[in-house]
Structure 1
Amino acid sequence: MTLNYHDVMTTDLSPLADVSEAWKKMGDRFGELKTDYEKHVQSVLGNGNWQGLAYGTQQQYASATAFEFGAAKAEALAIASLLTDAHTELTRLQKAVKDLVHDAEAKDFKVDSSGKATYVGYDNLSEQEKYALHHDPDYAQLQSDAREKAQGWTDNIAKAVKAVDDADQSVKRALTRATSDVSTDGLGFAGFNAHAVGDLAKAGKPDPKATTKTDGWISKGESEASGPGVGTEVSGPDTGAGKLGEAEAHADLGRASAEGSLTNGPMKLAGEAEAYAGAKASAAGGITNEGIQGEAGAFAGGEASTKGRADLGPVGVYARAEGTAGAEAGVNAGAGLDGVQLGAEAFAGAKGGASAGADVGGIGAGATVEGWAGPGAEASLNANKDTSGTWHVGAEVGVSPIVGGALGFEFTVDPGKIADTASSAADAVGDAAGWVADGVGSLF
């Protein structure tokens, strides 16, 4: 979103300093967690009393977890530094706009809510002075000079506002890069960014590729980061909505997410990534005219995921990857107009998984595989419709005494896409029939 004059003049930038301090504290806390983990978990299990394949796997994941704690510290401290720089730079540029407006007003120019300047010096004249001014031979030239000077103030204010917006866009780029893990170290892509840069002047530079010719590609993207924070929420029962009630509590060390897409005609590339560290628990249940739903779950640790998709007309492929380190448990069941689902899981340790699949004309199939290091079990079966109207059918089963994993499958059916494909096919058949008819007709 582009900042305008009103945004610049009314925005309170002071919270940036407080948020920066909060991120610094979170970074320091991640450093303490890394030290505690290495001392009380990793080194204890590596005292030589445990040997074998399971031990090797555990140590591999333990090293990755310790790395991610260190990466989380680096990322949080970089964000803290960026926010400090942002507060300093945006405050300086905001003051420049306000000073410019103050100077204009001191010279009898009024600046409206859009940043447009108008000369109002004549308003303070007496009626006799106004009469004399209107009959001055140079009155038209005086009016023209006033309008020209007013336009000069308006242009200078607009340039100063643009400088604030440019700095704001620079901050956005820097924060996006700081929270994007594009290296394969630690737990791989979509983990915490161990290489985050905390210098706004360096990290906020425009991408050189963004200034080159895009050849028809249209890009969209956004990112979000928050934490640390704690909170609880309880609601219900709501007899009107059929909700029996729900409750949620969380203690977040931090969370971040980003998504974007590139589109060029029938081709579209899209991706998402998110990461979370902390603890959360929730429970909910309800009965409505659309079905029955109940679920409960708890999680403590860190998790990250990433997914991408490429489409060319009716043909698409997708892939997902995710990693978790910590403990979780959950159960859910439901049935209604939008499908059924049934599942339960319990796990403690570290696990990573990947999914891949393809769809043609709105019908798709894929598979999921996970590797676990730690005790756990999982089973799920679902058939449901998402907000876009696409139906998902899948199942997954997994077990791990110490080292194990899970396997699953999934099918998708998108009625809207099937209809579009059928319509396109019908058009193609119609065109082909027309060509044949024309060809036959030409023979006679």
Structure 2
Amino acid sequence: MALTYQDVMTADLSPFVDVSTAWKKMGDRFGELQTDYEKNVQGALGNGNWQGLAYGAQQQNASATAFEYGAAKAEAHAVASLLTDAHTDLVRLQKAVKDLVEDAEKKDYKVDSSGKATYVGFDKMSQDEKFALHHDPDYPKLVADANQKAKDWSDAIAKAVQAVDDCDQSVKRALSRASSDVNTDGLGFGGFNAHADGDLKTAGKPEPKSEKKDGGWVSEGEAEASGPEAGAEAKGPDVGGGKLGEAEAHAYLGKASAEGSLTNGPFKLAGEAEAFAGAKANIGAGITNEGLNAEAGAFAGGAASAQGSAYAGPVGVYGRAEGKVGAEAEAGINVGKEGFHAGAGAFAGAKGEVAGGADLGGIGVGVTAEGYAGPGAEANLDFGKDQNGAWHFKAKAGVSPIVGGGLGMEFTVDPGKIADTTGDIVSGIGHGASSLGHAIGGLF
């Protein structure tokens, strides 16, 4: 619910100063606690007299605790800075509304409790002046001019009130983001936000919105196909870049892919599909500042997959299916800043996989099932971040002497969706308040 004219005119913004000071002091105190903890707990126990697994576990947890003290300091100082910026901007914008009202009243326009201006200059005239005015040939023109100016004053006041509401919404977004931990550092999701942004201009920006047609579904999509094609490439070693070497070769009979989406307000349908026929092989290894990797694989045959999802606001379901016919072998391990992967497998024959799951506000849980027609076995474990910034954990295992199958599970956390959902919840709470002071104060 947007702020009203009365909300803006009656709001007491002075508590912002005291609250900002309190958050600043709290951040300073967290910094002192971090220093004391590192010195008197980590330092005292890390003097070399205690060794072993228990010591290692204690120090790991102690490091995480010390990190959270520092993150709490960063978050508190960011909130203090945001509240200071909010006070400065809201006071300025509130004053702009009050100045408009004062100027309008000086020119004989009365502003009611909804912010609507009405000309009252005629009411201040004497009876003789009113009689003369009513018989003036220009009287209708004078009334029309007064009404137009009253509308102009009303529009200007409404625009100034909207500016206050826009700023209030920006403060709400910034505070929500500052108090949301969507990073895996420290104790992981849900701790204090070590990366909180204390600049209202950047932290309070609205999420970018895609263009759409009013009242209808908006579609987006693309597709591509290629083949036949063959090629090979080899690189390395690259000592400076950390690559020991890599090579790949392929011979495609054909490959194709397509993806698209339909969006209408909070509803979104999305899907993609791809197919491949041919052979490919690859091998590579490297060690860089991003991590280490080693992998090798080969496949000959045909493969096809399709997946889709349906969302209504923060709630959604998804599913996918994949099929392969041919022979495949692969093994690899990747460890880096963005997660890790370890797995190995081989099969010959036909293999099919289906998966399904649900997502609520950025947290998704799903299961996978596979079926084999032919000998094969595989095991995979993945944890990492995808290209959209979502973190995922997947585990899968299967075996087939002749006919068999496998099972797996997957867990996904999308920080961006979590932040949006948190913002929506905070929005619902904040809009229940009756004034700017109550709306912001309610967040704490």
> TM-score normalised to the size of structure 2?
0.51
Cα distance between partner residues in 1 of 2:268 and 2:129: 64
Write the mapping of 1:137-286 to structure 2, written as runs, cut at 5 A.
137-207=137-207, 209-210=208-209, 212-213=211-212, 264=268, 267-268=311-312, 270=314
Cα distance between partner residues in 1 of 2:361 and 2:198: 29
- The 3 A distance-change label for structure 1 pair 213 and 91 is same
Could you say which residue in structure 1 is the equivalent of 2:79?
79
Identity, % of aligned positions: 67
- The 3 A distance-change label for structure 1 pair 112 and 320 is closer
Cα distance between partner residues in 2 of 1:174 and 1:168: 10
- C-alpha contact 2:117 2:154 (8 A) present in aligned 1: yes
Cα distance between partner residues in 2 of 1:319 and 1:59: 35
- C-alpha contact 2:316 2:360 (8 A) present in aligned 1: no
> What is the identity, as a one-letter code, of the residue corresponding to 2:11?
T
Write the mapping of 1:125-140 to structure 2, written as runs, cut at 5 A.
125-140=125-140
Could you say which residue in structure 2 is the equivalent of 1:123?
123
| Larger Rg belongs to | 2
> What is the identity, as a one-letter code, of the residue corresponding to 2:52?
G
Q: Secondary structure at the match of 2:114?
A: coil
> What is the identity, as a one-letter code, of the residue corresponding to 2:152?
G
- C-alpha contact 2:34 2:69 (8 A) present in aligned 1: yes
- C-alpha contact 2:357 2:365 (8 A) present in aligned 1: no
Q: Secondary structure at the match of 1:7?
A: helix
Deviation of the 1:267 alpha carbon: 2.7
Deviation of the 1:316 alpha carbon: 5.5
Could you say which residue in structure 1 is the equivalent of 2:358?
317
- The 3 A distance-change label for structure 1 pair 269 and 107 is closer
Q: Deviations over 1:291-349 (max 9, x none)?
A: xxxxxxxxxxxxxxxxxx64469x8636999xxxxxxxxxxxxxxxxxxxxxxxxxxxx
- C-alpha contact 1:108 1:121 (8 A) present in aligned 2: yes
- The 3 A distance-change label for structure 1 pair 319 and 155 is closer
Aligned residues: 244
Cα distance between partner residues in 1 of 2:169 and 2:58: 43
Cα distance between partner residues in 1 of 2:171 and 2:361: 29
> TM-score normalised to the size of structure 1?
0.51
Write the mapping of 1:389-408 to structure 2, written as runs, cut at 5 A.
none
Could you say which residue in structure 2 is the equivalent of 1:104?
104
Q: Deviations over 1:201-246 (max 9, x none)?
A: 1211222x235449869xxxxxxxxxxxxxxxxxxxxxxxxxxxxx
Q: Deviations over 1:116-168 (max 9, x none)?
A: 10000000111111111111111100000000110110111111111111111
Cα distance between partner residues in 2 of 1:216 and 1:90: 38
Q: Secondary structure at the match of 1:110?
A: strand
- The 3 A distance-change label for structure 1 pair 63 and 262 is farther
Cα distance between partner residues in 2 of 1:172 and 1:42: 37
Structure showing greater relative contact order (alpha-carbon pairs closer than 8 Å, 6 or more residues apart): 2
> What is the identity, as a one-letter code, of the residue corresponding to 2:94?
Q
- C-alpha contact 1:30 1:72 (8 A) present in aligned 2: yes
- The 3 A distance-change label for structure 1 pair 355 and 212 is closer
Deviation of the 1:2 alpha carbon: 1.1
Cα distance between partner residues in 2 of 1:33 and 1:138: 77
- The 3 A distance-change label for structure 1 pair 41 and 310 is farther
Cα distance between partner residues in 1 of 2:210 and 2:311: 21
Deviation of the 1:36 alpha carbon: 1.5
1:31 aligns with 2:31: yes
Cα distance between partner residues in 2 of 1:58 and 1:132: 93
Write the mapping of 1:320-331 to structure 2, written as runs, cut at 5 A.
none
- C-alpha contact 2:357 2:364 (8 A) present in aligned 1: no
Q: Deviations over 1:66-125 (max 9, x none)?
A: 011100000000000100110011000000100000000000000011111000000011
Aligned-pair Cα RMSD in Å: 2.9
Write the mapping of 1:349-388 to structure 2, written as runs, cut at 5 A.
none
- C-alpha contact 2:318 2:358 (8 A) present in aligned 1: no
Q: Secondary structure at the match of 1:210?
A: coil
- The 3 A distance-change label for structure 1 pair 24 and 130 is same
Could you say which residue in structure 1 is the equivalent of 2:252?
none
- C-alpha contact 1:31 1:73 (8 A) present in aligned 2: yes
Q: Secondary structure at the match of 2:110?
A: strand
Cα distance between partner residues in 2 of 1:77 and 1:151: 44
- C-alpha contact 1:269 1:311 (8 A) present in aligned 2: no
Deviation of the 1:48 alpha carbon: 1.4
Write the mapping of 1:327-342 to structure 2, written as runs, cut at 5 A.
none
Q: Secondary structure at the match of 1:267?
A: strand
- C-alpha contact 1:319 1:357 (8 A) present in aligned 2: no
- C-alpha contact 2:174 2:200 (8 A) present in aligned 1: yes
Q: Secondary structure at the match of 2:118?
A: strand
